[in-house]
Amino acid sequence: MRDFIAFVAAGVAEIFRGGRRYWTWMAVLALLAGIGLACYVTQLRHGLVVTGMSDQVSWGFYIANFAFLVGVAAAAVLLVIPAYLFHRQDVKAVVLLGEGLAVAAVIAAMMFVLVDLGRIDRAWHLIPFIGRFNWPQSLLAWDVVVLNGYLALNLAIPLYVHFCHWRGEQPVLKAYFPFVVLAMFWAISIHTVTAFLFSANAARPLWHTALLGPRFIASAFASGPALIILALLAIRRYTDYPIRQSVIHLLALVMTVSLQISVFFVIAELFTDFYNETSHAASIRYLFLGLHGAAGLKPWIWAAVLLNCAALAILMVNPLRERQTTLNLACGLAIVGIWTEKGMGLVVPGFIPTPLGEVFEYQPTAIELGIALGIWAVAAMIFTALAKASIAIELGQVRRAGVTPTAPRRDTHDGAAAPVGH
Break the chain into its structural domains and give their ranges.
Answer: 2-402
- Provide, rounded to the nearest whole percent, the portion of the chain with pLDDT above 90: 54
Task: Report d(CA 231, CA 72) in Å as an integer.
Answer: 12
Q: pLDDT (tens digit, 9 = 90+) per residue, 119-129?
A: 787 777 777 77
Q: What CA–CA distances, in Å, run from 154 to 9, 162, 185, 187, 352?
A: 20, 12, 13, 10, 37
DSSP class per residue in 236-261: HHHSS----HHHHHHHHHHHHHHHHH
On the CB side of 239, CA atoms within 13 Å amount to 21
Q: Tell me: the pLDDT tens digits for 36-95?
A: 999 999 999 999 999 999 989 989 999 999 999 998 888 888 888 888 888 888 888 899
Q: How far, in Å, CA of 183 to CA of 206, rounded? A: 31
**Interstrand relation of 409-410 and 417-418 (parallel, antiparallel or unpaired):** antiparallel
C-alpha 65/C-alpha 298 separation (Å) is 19
Q: Which amino acid is at 24?
A: T
What amino acid is encoded at 193 in this protein?
V
3-state secondary structure of 27: helix
DSSP 8-state symbol, 398: S
For residue 16, CA distances in Å to 7, 160, 310, 333, 378 come to: 15, 22, 40, 33, 16
The values of phi and psi at residue 74, to 5°, are -65, -30
Q: Which residues have C-beta within 8 Å of that of residue 271, sequence separation ≥ 6?
A: none
Which H/E stretch holds residue 410? Answer: strand 409-410
- Distance separating alpha carbons of residues 161 and 173, to the nearest angstrom: 9
Contact 422, 48 (CB under 8 A): no
Give CA angle at 118 (116, 102), nearest 5°: 30
φ, ψ dihedrals at 157, nearest 5°: -65, -55
Calpha distance 252→326 (Å, rounded): 11
Distance, CA of 341 to chain centre: 15
Counting Cα atoms < 13 Å in the Cβ hemisphere of 122 gives 8
Of the candidate ranges 42-46, 200-204, 336-340, 418-422, the one whose mean pLDDT is the lowest = 418-422
> Roughly what angle, to the nearest 10 degrees, separates helices 61-74 and 95-116?
160
- Among the listed residues 119, 53, 108, the one whose alpha carbon sits nearest the alpha carbon of residue 348: 53
The residues that bridge with 410 in the sheet, in sequence order, are 417
pLDDT tens per residue across span 313-323: 999 999 999 99
Distance CA 202, CA 4 (A): 49
pLDDT band at 279 (very low <50, low <70, confident <90, very high): low
pLDDT given for residue 406 in this prediction: 54
CATH for 2-402? 1.20.1630.10
**Single-letter amino acid, residue 274:** F
pLDDT at 417: 40
Reduced to 3 states (helix: H, G, I; strand: E, B; else coil), residue 409 is: strand
Q: Which of 359, 55, 364, 353 is nearest to 204 (CA)?
A: 353
CA distances to 6, 218, 221, 323, 410 from 260, rounded to whole Å, are 47, 9, 11, 20, 37
Residues written for the chain: 422
pLDDT of residue 280: 67
Residues 6 or more apart whose CB falls under 8 angstroms from that of 346 comprise 67, 198, 206, 207
- Is the backbone peptide bond immediately before 364 cis, with ω within 30 degrees of 0? no
Task: Give residue-wise pLDDT tens across range 358-415.
Answer: 889 999 999 999 999 999 999 999 999 999 999 999 988 888 876 665 544 433 333 3
Q: How far apart are CA 62 and CA 367, in angstroms?
A: 11
Instruction: Kindly state the percentage of the chain with pLDDT values over 70.
Output: 94
Residue 404: per-residue pLDDT: 66
Cβ pair 195, 216 in contact under 8 A: yes
Q: What angle do CA 278, 281, 284 make, to 5 degrees?
A: 180
